[in-house]
């Protein structure tokens, strides 16, 4: 990184902060100690790149299955058999995989929630051998059918706090906990 500060084209120099050139060592040290910059200090291996893509695909697969209401496929495609899932921050279930699938089948019916999307972004993954942790942003617009016959669109913002495990079937979620960010325009009767 220091080389980047020292290898500026001469014609660009007047547009850059003069402190950069007077004190390159101090600026570079600030860069290294800034927590926003300290995460990536080396190039990823091919295995690490592959692991990251597989975990990202797992997160996207979860969203796809939830939005298609194919909850039974969560058993084979997404979670370990002994997974712990916590949706309590939005009034949902806490428990094992079977309890979670049962909850989703009862709560996320087409008659109540005809349309919704789980849009994932800012996937932050830390891999340690055959285990990994992640923090995944989710933007969740939902259409709900109201008791009076109308519909209402509301939105939830959240993060998934995940633990992943490499299995013979590939990476799987062994824990997913929702962390609330916001709720916008939810009907009062939902109590969110």
Q: pLDDT digit string (tens) for 142-173?
A: 999 999 999 999 999 999 999 999 999 999 99
Domain ranges of the chain: 46-185
Q: Considering the domain 46-185 in this protein, what is its CATH number?
A: 3.10.450.50
- Is the per-residue pLDDT at 33 higher than 60? no
Look up residue 189 and give its DSSP letter: G
- Is the per-residue pLDDT at 121 higher than 70? yes
Largest Cα span, the chain: 69
The predicted structure's pLDDT at residue 49: 96
The predicted structure's pLDDT at residue 104: 98
Q: What are phi and psi of 20, to 5 degrees?
A: -60, -35
Count CB neighbours of 43 within 10 A.
7
Three-class secondary structure of residue 142 per DSSP: strand
């Amino acid at each position: 990184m220091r080389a980047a500060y020292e290898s500026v084209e001469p014609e660009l120099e007047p547009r850059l902060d003069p402190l950069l050139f007077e004190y390159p060592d101090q600026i570079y040290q600030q860069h290294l100690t800034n927590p926003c910059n300290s995460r990536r200090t080396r190039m990823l291996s091919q295995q690490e790149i592959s692991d990251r893509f597989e975990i990202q695909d797992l997160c996207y697969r979860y969203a796809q299955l939830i939005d298609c209401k194919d909850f039974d496929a969560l058993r084979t495609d997404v979670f370990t058999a002994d997974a712990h899932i916590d949706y309590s921050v939005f009034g949902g279930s806490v428990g094992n995989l079977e309890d979670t699938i049962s909850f989703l089948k009862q709560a996320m019916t087409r008659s109540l929630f005809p349309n919704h999307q789980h849009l994932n972004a800012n996937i932050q993954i830390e891999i340690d051998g055959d285990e990994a942790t992640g923090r995944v942003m989710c933007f969740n617009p939902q259409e709900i059918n109201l008791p009076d016959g109308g519909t209402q669109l509301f939105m939830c913002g959240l993060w998934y706090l995940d633990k992943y495990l490499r299995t013979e079937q590939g990476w799987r979620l062994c824990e997913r906990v929702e962390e609330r960010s916001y709720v916008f325009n939810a009907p009062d009767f939902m109590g969110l």
